[in-house]
Amino acid sequence: MLTGLRYFERPIKDKMGEVLKQAFDWGQVDKQALAKCLIVLCSTVRDVMKDEKRLLRLQEPVYILGDIHGNFRDLVCFEKVLWRMGPILTPSSFLFLGDYVDRGEQGIEVVAYLFAQKLLAPEKFYLLRGNHEVRSVQRMFSFRSECTEKFGEELGSDVWEAVNTVFDCMPIAAVVDSKLFCVHGGIPRPIQDGGDGLLLAIDKIPCPLRNPEVESTLAWEILWSDPINKDTDITDDTEKELVSNGGFARNKRRGTANVFSCRALETFLRNTGLSHVVRAHEVQQAGFQVQQKGQLLTVFSSSHYCGGSNEAACILADRRKIRIMRIDTT
C-alpha cells in the first residue's frame, strides 16, 4: 500500500519531460484492485486496534498531531519532517488525535497511509478516534461520497464500511508520561468514582463501538466537547449551567456534548493527577492555541482548511517539556 501511495504522490514524466501523471493522482491504476487491497488492509489493522486499550499509555518522546481531514499533501509534509526514515527508525512515537476524513479530497489516501504505517510499526504509530470517524457524520460530509466516487457505488460502499469497522475499534484517549491527557475533543463530565475512576472508565468503553452516541456517553463527550469560548458561548443561561454543573454546559455550537470552563479543567487535572490536556477538534489560525491558563493545548494539523489560510502544527512531548512546531506545507 505504501508503495502505491508513493506512486500516487509523485508526478511521472516521459523522456521528453512531458507529464504523464500529475502528482497526487492515481493515473491509470486499477481502482478495483486498489479497493480490494484497502479492504484487506482494514481487516488486518482492525485486529491490531482491537487488542489496544481504549486509553493508551505512552512514554515520551511523542509527536502529537491534530486533525488531518483528508489532507494527504500535508501528511506527506509531516512525514518528510518527522519520520523521513520511517517510524521504526525514528526514536519518537506518533499519536494522531483523529478526524482523518471528511472536508478534504483525499481521505482514502490518508487512512490507507495511516493504517499501513500502523501495521508496520504498531508500537510507534497510534491513532485515536475523532468525531468524524463516525458513519452518521461522514454521511453529512464528504467521506461516504468520496468512497463511491473513487470506487463506484457497490465497491465504494464496501470500502467505506471496511474503513469504518477500523474506526469502530480505535482507542478513545491516551495519557503520555502519566501527565498529558490526549483526546480529540475535550474532557468529559465527572463520573461518580472521579479521578482514576474516570480513566478506568475510559478503558471500559466497548470495543467495537459502532455508534458512540448511543453506546457510550463517555466516548461521545470525549469526541465532541470543546473548551468554552467566551466570545461566542457565554449567555445568561450558559453561565447558570456552568455554575450548577461544575463548569460544564451544553455545547450549543455543536448541538451535542458539552463546553467546559477553566474551573472544570482544573478539577479534572487535580482529580486525575494529570498536568495538561492536548486536544484537536477546532481549526486554529497558527495551527495551535494555548488556552485555560496554559493547561489546555489545541493542535490542528491540516493547513488551508476548507480553503482558509491557517497553518498546520504538531506538538512534541519530550523530557517533561511540551514543544509546539509549525510545519511548512507550501
Reduced to 3 states, what is the DSSP secondary structure of residue 55? Answer: strand
Give phi and psi for 77, each to the nearest 5: -60, -45
Residue 262 near residue 167 (C-beta atoms within 8 A): no
**Which ranges in the chain belong to alpha helices (H)?**
2-9, 31-50, 72-82, 107-120, 135-140, 143-151, 153-167, 196-203, 212-215, 217-224, 236-244, 262-272
Q: Which residue has the cell 470506487?
A: 151
Largest CA distance in the chain: 72
The CA–CA distances, whole Å, from 149 to 78, 105, 106, 153 equal 27, 11, 12, 7
Residue 303: alpha-carbon gap to chain centroid: 15
For every residue of 191-226, DSSP letters joined together read -SS-THHHHHHHHTS-SS-S-HHHH-HHHHHHHH-E
Helices 153-167 and 143-151 pack at an angle, to 10 degrees, of 140
The 226-227 sheet, strands edge to edge: 226-227, 258-260, 248-250
One-letter amino acid at 205 equals I
Residue 108 near residue 159 (C-beta atoms within 8 A): yes
For every residue of 159-186, DSSP letters joined together read HHHHHHHHHTTS--EEEETTTEEE-SS-
Q: 10 Å Cβ neighbour count for 287? A: 25
Q: Which residues are catalytic?
A: 132
Closest residue by Cα to residue 143 from 185, 97, 184, 111: 111
